[in-house]
């Protein structure tokens, strides 16, 4: 007997027909002799609809009340799924996040799990039930209902798997697994049989949407074996684990991209200790995440440096920089949006020289300028103009030997909640 956590996203349970399909799949696994814990997201577009309705009433609703509202979608899903399982002859009990023992901090809209006390889950399993838990939510020490933010249901599933000692955590989504790149861009992208935590974490952080970085971090920290599978097919998925077998000759495991990148440059900054701390401290204090940072050489005691932020944060970041000009004098600023970041990821990169050089060569052969570069032991990222994205991704995919015979891609955009 195995203890399995199965997580289903919103599109997987978005209609009564899909809900029934999920219920049958759950019952199949239980009848094989397994104990089953299920984590579910809100059905279909429920969350988006609730957000739209709330903002029609109040464009700036209180964070506490938004969390109270946002948890409703998952509560509908768990009750409906439990009813569906009962209707086909099974036994199930549904639990909200707080009923399932999900304890969090008090940061509304982006809470972090602090502890899980799953005694009610164990009692439900002992009674022969499928335990169905609402993803994305918990309760703070102050007794407040909270939500976990982006990727919250994935994180709920992985954290719950760690807490109950599950043998595996299966993430069901609308793709067959983790691909070498987005199959909507490269039609002959390969589905990976397995991938390491570190590689998956890099891909997730760099734009691959199939798993959220927080969930991968939690899995790595707690050594939870993940399997990414499709809700709509019976195909084998991708196993995410500590070490993954490297295919012969494959150094790069995958290619990710982020379409929402802006570059900001600050010119003529005095080259003295503490300048960078002041600039990036101010940005951090205003909730702006900075990615790639490049400083040019110093001339006449002045330096220029550039950094990237999310395109949606560009105007706010420029405003912050202008606001600290008195403390950090500079000559001028410059910015550019309409950029993308393309990244190659692979654990084999650390022991294979020339991997980055091949990336630069493939991009330059297309006549595309590289604006910024960032590297680590298992990844290399280049910032380029957005119009060159698809062409560059296809070229890199071929250059690193990732192409396969054309495959059929099932599903739409990967779910992130």
Within a domain: 250:
no
pLDDT number for residue 210 = 84
Q: Please indicate, yes or no, whether residues 77 and 167 belong to a single structural domain of this protein.
A: yes
In a domain, 311, yes or no: yes
Q: What is the pLDDT along the chain (417 residues), one digit of tens a residue?
A: 799 999 999 989 999 999 999 999 999 999 999 999 999 999 988 999 999 999 999 999 999 999 999 999 999 999 999 999 999 999 999 999 999 999 999 999 989 999 999 999 999 999 999 999 999 999 999 999 999 988 899 999 999 999 999 999 999 988 889 999 998 899 999 999 999 999 999 999 898 878 889 999 999 999 999 999 998 888 889 999 887 766 656 789 999 999 999 999 999 998 888 888 999 999 999 989 999 999 877 788 889 999 999 999 999 999 999 999 988 999 999 999 999 999 999 988 888 889 999 999 999 999 999 999 999 989 999 999 999 999 999 999 999 999 875 433 333 334 434
> What local confidence, expressed as pLDDT, does residue 151 receive?
83
Do 121 and 22 lie in one domain? The reply is yes
Instruction: Say whether both 262 and 387 belong to one domain.
Output: yes
- CATH number of the domain that 56 lies in? 3.40.1160.10
Residue 266: other Cβ atoms inside 10 A: 23
The domain total for the chain is: 2
**CA–CA distance from 309 to each of 149, 244, 316, 318, 389 (Å)?**
20, 32, 10, 10, 18
Contacts of 148 (CB under 8 A, 6+ apart): 104, 110, 111, 112, 113, 136, 137, 138, 155, 156
Query: Residue 403: its pLDDT value, please?
Result: 87
164 and 264 housed in the same domain: no
Q: What is the pLDDT of residue 16?
A: 94
**Would you say 41 and 153 are in contact if contact means Cβ atoms under 8 Å apart?**
yes
Write out the residue range of the structural domain in which residue 148 sits. Answer: 3-173
C-beta separation of 98 from 78 below 8 A: no
Whether 158 and 261 share a structural domain:
no
Q: What is the pLDDT of residue 414?
A: 40
The answer to the question of residue 290 being in a domain is yes
Whole-model pTM?
0.84
Q: Is residue 225 part of a domain?
A: no
243 in a domain, yes or no? no
Count CB neighbours of 249 within 10 A: 8
Single out the residue of 259, 260, 369, 372 nearest to residue 307, CA to CA: 372
Are residues 274 and 373 located together in one domain of the fold? yes
> How many residues are there in the chain?
417
Residue 140 covered by a domain = yes
Using the 3D structure, point to which of 111, 141, 173 is the last residue of a domain. 173
Question: How distant, in Å, are the alpha carbons of 206, 312, 400 from that of 341?
Answer: 8, 15, 18
Query: What pLDDT does residue 201 have?
Result: 93
156/260 same-domain check: no
Confirm if 381 and 341 have CB atoms less than 8 A apart: yes
């Amino acid at each position: 007997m195995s203890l399995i956590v199965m997580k289903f996203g919103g599109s997987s349970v978005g209609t009564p027909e899909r809900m029934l399909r999920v219920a049958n799949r759950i019952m199949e696994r239980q009848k094989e002799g397994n104990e089953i814990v299920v984590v579910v997201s809100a059905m279909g577009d429920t969350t988006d609809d609730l957000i739209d309705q709330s903002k029609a009433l109040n464009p700036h609703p209180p964070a506490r009340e938004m969390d109270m509202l946002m948890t409703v979608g998952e509560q509908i899903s768990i009750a409906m799924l439990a009813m569906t399982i009962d209707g086909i002859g099974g036994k199930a009990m549904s639990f909200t996040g707080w009923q399932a023992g999900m304890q969090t901090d008090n940061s509304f809209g982006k809470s972090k799990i602090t502890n899980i006390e799953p005694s009610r889950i164990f009692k439900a399993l002992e009674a022969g039930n499928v335990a169905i838990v609402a993803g994305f939510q918990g309760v703070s020490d102050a007794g407040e209902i909270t939500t976990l933010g982006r990727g919250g249901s994935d994180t709920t599933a992985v954290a719950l798997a760690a807490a109950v000692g599950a043998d595996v955590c299966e993430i069901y989504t609308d793709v067959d697994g983790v691909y070498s790149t987005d199959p909507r861009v490269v039609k002959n992208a390969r589905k990976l049989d397995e991938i390491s935590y570190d590689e998956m974490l890099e891909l997730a952080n760099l734009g691959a949407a199939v798993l959220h970085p927080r969930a991968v971090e939690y899995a790595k920290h707690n050594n939870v074996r993940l399997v990414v599978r499709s809700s709509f097919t019976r195909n084998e998925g991708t196993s995410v684990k500590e070490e993954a077998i490297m295919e012969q000759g494959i150094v790069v495991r995958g290619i990710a991209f982020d379409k929402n990148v802006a570059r900001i440059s600050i010119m003529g900054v005095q080259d003295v200790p503490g300048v960078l701390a002041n600039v990036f401290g101010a940005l951090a204090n205003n909730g702006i995440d900075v990615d790639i940072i490049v400083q040019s050489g110093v001339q006449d005691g002045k330096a220029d440096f550039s950094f990237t932020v999310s395109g949606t944060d560009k105007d706010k970041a420029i405003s912050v920089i202008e606001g600290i000009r008195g403390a950090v004098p500079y000559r001028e600023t410059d910015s550019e949006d309409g950029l993308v970041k393309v990244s190659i990821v692979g654990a084999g990169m650390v022991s294979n020289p020339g991997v980055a050089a091949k990336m630069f060569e493939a991009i330059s052969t297309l006549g595309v300028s590289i604006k910024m570069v960032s590297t680590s032991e298992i990844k290399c990222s280049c910032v380029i103009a957005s119009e060159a994205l698809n062409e560059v991704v296809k070229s890199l995919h071929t250059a690193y030997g990732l192409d396969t015979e054309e495959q059929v891609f099932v599903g739409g955009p990967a779910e992130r909640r």
